[in-house]
Amino acid sequence: METIKIAGAGPAGLSAAINLARKGYKVDVFEKNQDVGGRFHGDFQGLENWSDEKDVLLKLKEMNISINFDQYPFKNLIISNGMKNWDFKCDIPAFYLIKRGSAIGSLDNGLKKQALDKGVHIHFETVLHESQADIVATGPYAPEKFATARGIVFQTNLKDLAIGLVNDKTAVKGYSYLLVAQGQATMGTVLFDKFKNLNRCFQETKRMFNQLVDPDIINPHPMGGLGSFSLCNIFKKKRRLYAGEAAGLQDLLWGFGIKNAITSGFLAAKSIINGENYEKTAKNYFNQKLKASLVNRFLWEKFGIKNYEFIVNQIHSARDPLKYLNWIHNFNILQNMIYPMALRYMRERYRNLRLE
């Protein structure tokens, strides 16, 4: 059977590798860093559980990904804008906290183990040029950056909690977050504009979280990174398939890209195995979701008045906030109507992004 070369050992590349190897393909993954998860630092990220009807862990299992990494379900969270707090109590997990980086228990380490167990060869500290890869899963493309994050990972005596902070002083057009599970914590701020304010915003984030919960911060380490997005997604160039953020797959509203990365890796592998047209299946699967996220960002920026009070109230007052989030992540009829206006605004606002 032919050997498949994959550039990048992130969630997209490893999901493709696992699926190909289980069908008997010989798979070589090339990773420029010395281990998986190299651009992360043990920080918590959220596997969101609202954009599909099915529970995200079930979705992963259906894509042949085992849950061999630590995950902490969160049904409750607090959103604050510094003046007002909203308590969200959901019937099912709103998200699962997972850890990123190379440490045991992280998503990246779990995926690595699954790939190695299936006989995938991972060549660390080896750059594979895009032109030599069968699957390109190299992560964000810096010229198409839409958000940038900075924060710290630390130990704390706080009990488990998740707080989102929406306030333009702490995160311009974005949000800050404090996530705690079993004595480990991540505090970060994500900006969607005025990136030069990142440090100042993070200091302000710390100050606000001090006022809100006064966390003890033990042994802090820095973390951060960027996100990139495109609506003119390149899923295939010549014979090469593109997955994850390398294909521009991200959520333009809040930057939840992991599920997209794993799903696109799975679809890329499936297309090779079954001789399917990946470009077509990926477009079918992602196009509406990406358009929805563009409209959501437009609304977030346009109606983010009074520090997002109007929008958070909207979500909070929904009978089922997760169902509401599901509705706004799947290009509903209202979003369809707003789309042309949103696209015009977003083209001006994010001139570096390729938006059809």
Q: Which stretches of the chain bind ligand FAD, using CB under 6 A?
A: 7-13, 30-33, 38-39, 45-46, 127-128, 137-139, 149, 188, 224-225, 227, 244-246, 250, 255-258, 261
Give the nearest distance from C-beta 299 to ligand FAD in angstroms: 20
DSSP-based three-state secondary structure for 67: coil
Residue 246 or 253 having the CB closest to ligand FAD: 246
* Cα–Cα distance for residue pair 50/30, rounded to 1 Å: 32
Give the nearest distance from C-beta 206 to ligand FAD in angstroms: 16
Give the nearest distance from C-beta 96 to ligand FAD in angstroms: 10
Residue 32 or 121 having the CB closest to ligand FAD: 32
Residue 258 or 342 having the CB closest to ligand FAD: 258
Give the nearest distance from C-beta 343 to ligand FAD in angstroms: 22
User: For residue 74, which of 209, 184, 181 has the smallest C-alpha distance?
Assistant: 181
Give the nearest distance from C-beta 262 to ligand FAD in angstroms: 8
Residue 214 or 245 having the CB closest to ligand FAD: 245
Residue 25 or 40 having the CB closest to ligand FAD: 40
Residue 281 or 302 having the CB closest to ligand FAD: 281
Give the nearest distance from C-beta 120 to ligand FAD in angstroms: 14
Q: Are the beta carbons of 247 and 234 closer than 8 angstroms?
A: yes
Give the nearest distance from C-beta 337 to ligand FAD in angstroms: 28
Alpha helices in the chain, H assignment, sequence order: 11-21, 56-62, 107-117, 198-212, 258-274, 278-302, 305-317, 321-328, 333-349
Residue 188 or 321 having the CB closest to ligand FAD: 188
Give the nearest distance from C-beta 40 to ligand FAD in angstroms: 7
* Cα–Cα distance for residue pair 253/292, rounded to 1 Å: 9
What is the CA angle 35-40-43, rounded to 5? 130
* Cα–Cα distance for residue pair 240/203, rounded to 1 Å: 43
Burial 245-274 (b: 16+ CB within 10 A, else e): bbbbbbbbbbbbbbbbbbbbbbbbbbbbee
Q: Are the beta carbons of 187 and 209 closer than 8 angstroms?
A: yes
- Do strands 44-48 and 95-99 pair parallel, antiparallel, or not at all (unpaired)? antiparallel
* Cα–Cα distance for residue pair 288/123, rounded to 1 Å: 35
What is the CA angle 248-93-57, rounded to 5? 60
- Tokens found for residue 237: 């160039």
* Cα–Cα distance for residue pair 220/41, rounded to 1 Å: 11
Give the nearest distance from C-beta 245 to ligand FAD in angstroms: 4
Residue 217 or 338 having the CB closest to ligand FAD: 217
Q: Are the beta carbons of 223 and 191 closer than 8 angstroms?
A: no
Residue 131 or 211 having the CB closest to ligand FAD: 131
What phi, psi does 149 have (nearest 5°)?
A: -125, 150
